[in-house]
Amino acid sequence: MAKLINGLLGGISGKVGPIVGATWKGVEYVRAAAAPSTKPRTEKQIAQQVKFKFLQNFLKPFQKFIVVGFRNDAIRRTECNVAFSLNYKSAIIGSYPDFEIDYSKVIMSKGILPNLFEPKIKFLTAGTLELSWSVFEECVGSFEDQVTLLLYNPRLEKIDGFIGGVERAAGRCTFDINPRLIGESLEVYVSLTSNNRKLISNSLYVGRLSR
């Protein structure tokens, strides 16, 4: 059953006969209801559906990072849609049914803010990482820019890391990883946001870290 939003002159939410009303990113719209198809799917259609599902499942754990990383590009679409579109073009390798992720091509944020210069990461202990980078007085950007560290373990499909709390000026920081990730390989990404999170950098793949 459909609902009227804001009275008779407002938008429609739900299905009314052959049309469907909804709201997306604050914009009310209607579309034709999809007609059920009796045609069998082609191999190309099946491959595309599998590829879509593969990427959707990969991106699910990263949602809190995606919401920050693509906020400036989410105009009349969601941050997750932006992330999906960019990574669909760049990060998937292989062919149906054996799709894989090229972790060096994964994009977790997009923007004009300069990223960290020469970031390096290493283990200090089994459960503690050190992230370091070069800092120059003539650095483009603000010394108060906030660091984002994103860690991903493909085997467990688990993420870890932080958004903000460490400034560009610090030059280094340490981080205690989730105990479940000790001994696991980690794909490492860094990025920056301005103090007010209005400016964002492109994410940078630092590499794979393992013990």
- Residue 40 has which token pair? 């069998």
Q: Is the pLDDT of residue 36 over 80?
A: no
- Residue 110 has which token pair? 């997009």
The predicted structure's pLDDT at residue 159: 98
Q: Is the pLDDT of residue 113 over 70?
A: yes
- CATH hierarchy code of domain 117-209: 2.60.40.10
Interval 62-67 mean pLDDT? 97
The pLDDT > 90 percentage for the chain reads: 74
Q: Is the pLDDT of residue 13 over 80?
A: no
pTM: 0.82
Interval 76-98 mean pLDDT? 95
Contact by Cβ (8 Å): 132, 120: yes
- Tens digit of each residue's pLDDT (9 = 90 or more) over 153-199: 999 999 999 999 999 999 999 999 999 999 999 999 999 999 999 99
- Residue 46 has which token pair? 């099946």
DSSP state of 2: -
Q: Provide the residue ranges of all domains of the chain, joining segments of one domain with +.
A: 3-32, 43-105, 117-209
Contact by Cβ (8 Å): 188, 106: no
